[in-house]
Structure 1
Amino acid sequence: MGKITGFMEFERQEEDHLEPVARLKNYKEFVITLTDAQAKVQGARCMDCGIPFCNTGCPVNNIIPDWNDLVFHGNYRHALENLHSTNNFPEFTGRICPAPCESACTLGINDDPVGIKSIERKIIDTGWEHGWVVPQPPEHRTGRKVAVVGSGPAGLAAAQQLARVGHDVTVFEKSDRLGGLLRYGIPDFKMEKDLIDRRVEQMQAEGVTFRTGVLIGKDFPAAVSNMARDTIFPEDLEKEFDAVIMAGGAEQPRDLPVPGRQLKGVHFAMDFLPQQNRVNAGDKLKDQLKATGKHVIVIGGGDTGSDCVGTSNRHGAASVTQFELLPQPPEHENKPLVWPYWPTRLRTSSSHEEGCERDWAVATKRLEGKGGKVEKLIACRVEWKDGKMTEVPDSEFELKADLVLLAMGFVSPVQQVLDAFGVQKDPRGNARATTEGELAYQTSNPKVFTAGDMRRGQSLVVWAIREGRQCARAVDEFLMGASVLPR
């Protein structure tokens, strides 16, 4: 505990950031990492409480009080070692994780919680700056081969762990660049992609092989097949490798079955967001979806919807409106009731601060337009009672709409992959696998394991990293009979 009375003396210090007028001019990150002095103060606020609920609030179980104390004393080298012991990619989570650890912070019961996420980012950014993040190649090779399908956070975490204990790991990615939804689902202004590239270089030095533009499976629709240069059937993968990990994302979006859905100008969020990331990377796209000068309506109040807002603002949209079907949450949660669990409360993102009209308890009834192009959205107010939704009488209204983006979440992974491997599914269409016991992360096909969104459904990057790490241990035990990898 760095300073016994620190939690009483110091206030929470938020990270500085560029003002909206400046950050809307480009797609660069705009959050400024804490200074050494600011991080020291935040570390001093940690109470080192008897039961650190932040540890269990964090899906990867970061040893938060320990590295808070190390940062307070300026020992960033050991803080980095501590952080890496539970998290392969803290530069990802330090930027885009919603920080459930902070909701579980004991200080948060009656005060602002410790700025855990900002300290995490400070530690890893300092580590990269000083050259402390280096490859960790294995001391010996096992001769066992593992295929990882998907290069998102779950696949990367599993691949790195398995490579470090000596397995020959090959990661297959259907896109032209690595990173999965980190690459093409997260806008650059939230996380720049050179962060992925330098981790890939580290993993290559540790022995991981990466193959992009490769689809694993069969019977894909043309839109998916055209993304890749090559297709490998699962049976061939199982013959070549001793174990396979399915670690793809939950990429099947929830659709909006209303009249007018077929009109031009109505798109899934993941048709819109990846295009801008590709342009930022230097690609030349024909007929890019642009919000420039348009009245944009985003349907869905989560993070993906927020990302559509931020991207539309950078395009120069005439207006941006975001709808949510559920009622507006309270501005402040009832802490004694919900702590240490993740609270339901109103959350305003940096994209919202840049300009957006937000509305809640709104349902879309239909979309209308002329010449096959959307021009307006007809909606109504709804009310919720006992978990049931009913339309408010005489509440119908319309809004001008040139571009409608559907950001209502994702229902499951791509089914063609699961069907091709022949694995059992849960009722939501995910690969069925437990997380405990001897069969942890193992599917109904004994040679095939699964982790991340493909097993648990749409979730957080930090959960994907956790599952990737745990799945790696399960695969190592499957191949070697025992494992020294942490779980």
Structure 2
Amino acid sequence: MSTPTGFMEFKRELPGDRSPSERVRDWEEFHKHMSEEELQTQGARCMDCGTPYCHTGIDMAGGTSGCPVHNLIPEWNNLVYRGLWKDALDRLHKTNNFPEFTGRICPAPCEGSCTVGLIGQPVTIKTIEQAIIDKGFEEGWVVPEPPEKRTGRRVAVVGSGPAGLACAAQLNKAGHEVTVYERSDRIGGLLMYGIPSMKLDKAVVQRRVDLLAAEGVKFVTNTEIGKDIKAQQLVDEYDAVVLCGGATKPREFNIEGSDLNGVHYAMPFLNGTIKSYLDSGLQDGQYLSAKDKDVIVIGGGDTGSDCVATALRHGCRSITQFGTHAKAPLERDPINNPWPQFPNVYTLDYAQEEAKALYGSDPREFSIMTTRFVGDESGNLKELHTVQIRRTVDETGRKIYEPIPGTERVFPAQLALIAIGFDGPESTIIGELGLEKDRRTNVKAKYGQFKTNVDKVFAAGDMRRGQSLVVWAINEGRAAAREVDKYLMGSTVLV
């Protein structure tokens, strides 16, 4: 334990953020950094629990409790407290291939299950995690570590998101020759093109990709499996194939007027902006612009918030975000949302902070449903019609939305962005290989085994479990690599 009374002596502190009114004028990361001394003090707050719930990583009450990659959190908290940063980095890398990603974009379910949070504010785990890996790169401790010998086995990984990269990293560590196929022009999947640069600097992603390449992982871009190369060809040419293509099929939102000009799904909006920014600093104009428009974002999750922040940086005239969920309470409900569940409390994410700074209020509308889009005589979106709702859940877990009479409203809008989630993976590879699907149309492969009904073919990440957190994708990529290694070698050296 760092210090037995640290959680009583020191208050939780977080690094400050750049001013919202300042940061909306650029695309740089908005978090500031804490000094080493401040971080050591925060590490001292860790209790080194006899049963550290921050390790658990389990699904609980519709959310995640604890860290899905089972980070050895109390151990590296203690090492940071003692100033042993390189040892802390080694401990962190034992469980997490990419702490520079999770330290920036993970919602930190570990903090939600921190024991200190039972009686006060949890340890600043996520901040310490990012600080460890950032210092590791700054000090030159993170260097390519190619395997000492090769096994002669060849593995194809389809998809270069967090699951694919984690799987490739682990299989390469085991000595296999790994080739990662990506249909986009850059490696990283949603890390590169799904998450805006102000949350995750793309240089951070490219730095890790370059490191993996130096360790021997081969990357092939602009190549879509099932179209540019047949999936069966990979099965024939490689000793194993791991499908990590994600759950990229958007959930349909077919209501009256959804075909109007100005109604778009979220991911093309985000992806186009990120690509244009990387290619030309937005000078090529090859993106869907929100400039001078009244923008409505339909969807209250992270993707919706990213749309809000992106539209603000475009220079939208106004921004509103719709959610079918009710406004969360200010404090955790001890009966319906007890520790160690992920706390469902009212907070302002970075995007809502920015909108409030610019327009004076939280941009979110809660318990609201869009009933139709209305356009002008030229077929362009001009307004959304809505109604307030009561959301209940029946005995089967199905959500039921009951409109409240007399609560109808009209919102002006020239751009509507639909961010209501995803309905599983695309069907091209699944259909070609004849892969079995589960009831949610994901590739059927048992967790812990990851093997599909087709010999040599494995599946991991969102393509197997459905839309989820980046940290779950890393968990699945690592676990699938262990199973592939066993399949190829009869046993595994991976942990």
The letter of the residue matching 2:148 is E
Q: How many residues align?
A: 471
Matching residue of 2:423: 411
The letter of the residue matching 1:8 is M
Counterparts of 1:345-360 in structure 2, within 5 Å, are 345-355=345-355, 356-360=362-366
Matching residue of 1:243: 240
User: Residue by residue, what CA displacement relative to the aligned partner does 1:409-467 show, whole Å, maximum 9, x if unpaired?
Assistant: 1110111121122110001010001123xxx0100112100110000000000000010
**How far apart in 1 are the matches of 2:41 and 2:413?**
47
Q: Is 1:13 the counterpart of 2:22 in the alignment?
A: no
Matching residue of 1:269: 266
Q: Is 1:153 the counterpart of 2:162 in the alignment?
A: yes
285-294 or 168-177, larger mean C-alpha shift: 285-294
Structure 1 residue matching 2:474: 3-state secondary structure: helix
**How far apart in 2 are the matches of 1:338 and 1:4?**
25
Deviation at 1:180, TM superposition (A): 0.3
Matching residue of 1:334: 333
Q: Which consecutive unaligned segments of at least 5 residues does structure 2 have?
A: 57-65, 356-361, 395-399
Deviation at 1:386, TM superposition (A): 4.8
Q: Is 1:282 the counterpart of 2:282 in the alignment?
A: no
User: Residue by residue, what CA displacement relative to the aligned partner does 1:281-303 show, whole Å, maximum 9, x if unpaired?
Assistant: 12464552111111000000000
Inter-CA distance 243–386: structure 2 relative to 1 (3 Å threshold): closer
Q: Is 1:253 the counterpart of 2:259 in the alignment?
A: no
Matching residue within 480, 485, 490 for 1:481: 490
Matching residue of 2:38: 38
Counterparts of 1:323-402 in structure 2, within 5 Å, are 323-335=322-334, 337-355=337-355, 356-370=362-376, 371-387=378-394, 388-402=400-414
447-456 or 277-286, larger mean C-alpha shift: 277-286
The letter of the residue matching 2:373 is L
Matching residue of 1:296: 295
Matching residue within 64, 68, 92 for 2:101: 92
**How far apart in 2 are the matches of 1:415 and 1:342?**
33
Inter-CA distance 461–389: structure 2 relative to 1 (3 Å threshold): same
**How far apart in 2 are the matches of 1:39 and 1:51?**
23
Matching residue of 2:397: none
Counterparts of 1:183-198 in structure 2, within 5 Å, are 183-198=192-207
The letter of the residue matching 1:362 is I
Q: TM-score, normalised by structure 1?
A: 0.95
Structure 2 residue matching 1:253: 3-state secondary structure: coil
Matching residue within 100, 106, 111 for 1:102: 111
**Does the 8 Å contact 1:158/1:468 carry over to 2?**
yes
Q: Which consecutive unaligned segments of at least 5 residues does structure 1 have?
A: 219-230
Structure 1 residue matching 2:325: 3-state secondary structure: coil
Structure 2 residue matching 1:171: 3-state secondary structure: strand
User: Residue by residue, what CA displacement relative to the aligned partner does 1:349-376 show, whole Å, maximum 9, x if unpaired?
Assistant: 0110001521111111101111110000
Deviation at 1:237, TM superposition (A): 0.7
Deviation at 1:385, TM superposition (A): 4.0
**Does the 8 Å contact 1:327/1:360 carry over to 2?**
yes
**How far apart in 2 are the matches of 1:358 and 1:30?**
21
Matching residue of 1:223: none
**How far apart in 1 are the matches of 2:72 and 2:471?**
14
**Does the 8 Å contact 1:217/1:421 carry over to 2?**
no
Deviation at 1:400, TM superposition (A): 0.3
**How far apart in 2 are the matches of 1:433 and 1:341?**
27
Matching residue within 457, 470, 473 for 2:479: 470
The letter of the residue matching 2:297 is V
Identity %: 49
Structure 1 residue matching 2:423: 3-state secondary structure: strand
**Does the 8 Å contact 1:33/1:121 carry over to 2?**
no
**Does the 8 Å contact 2:324/2:391 carry over to 1?**
no
Matching residue of 2:89: 80
Q: TM-score, normalised by structure 2?
A: 0.93
Matching residue of 1:49: 49
**How far apart in 2 are the matches of 1:302 and 1:209?**
34
**How far apart in 1 are the matches of 2:232 and 2:21?**
53
**Does the 8 Å contact 1:109/1:335 carry over to 2?**
no
Structure 2 residue matching 1:114: 3-state secondary structure: coil
**Does the 8 Å contact 1:168/1:208 carry over to 2?**
yes
**How far apart in 2 are the matches of 1:323 and 1:416?**
32
Q: CA RMSD in A?
A: 1.2
**How far apart in 1 are the matches of 2:391 and 2:333?**
20
The letter of the residue matching 1:369 is G
The letter of the residue matching 1:410 is F
Matching residue of 1:224: none
Matching residue of 2:62: none
Inter-CA distance 294–419: structure 2 relative to 1 (3 Å threshold): same
**Does the 8 Å contact 1:295/1:400 carry over to 2?**
yes
Structure 2 residue matching 1:216: 3-state secondary structure: coil
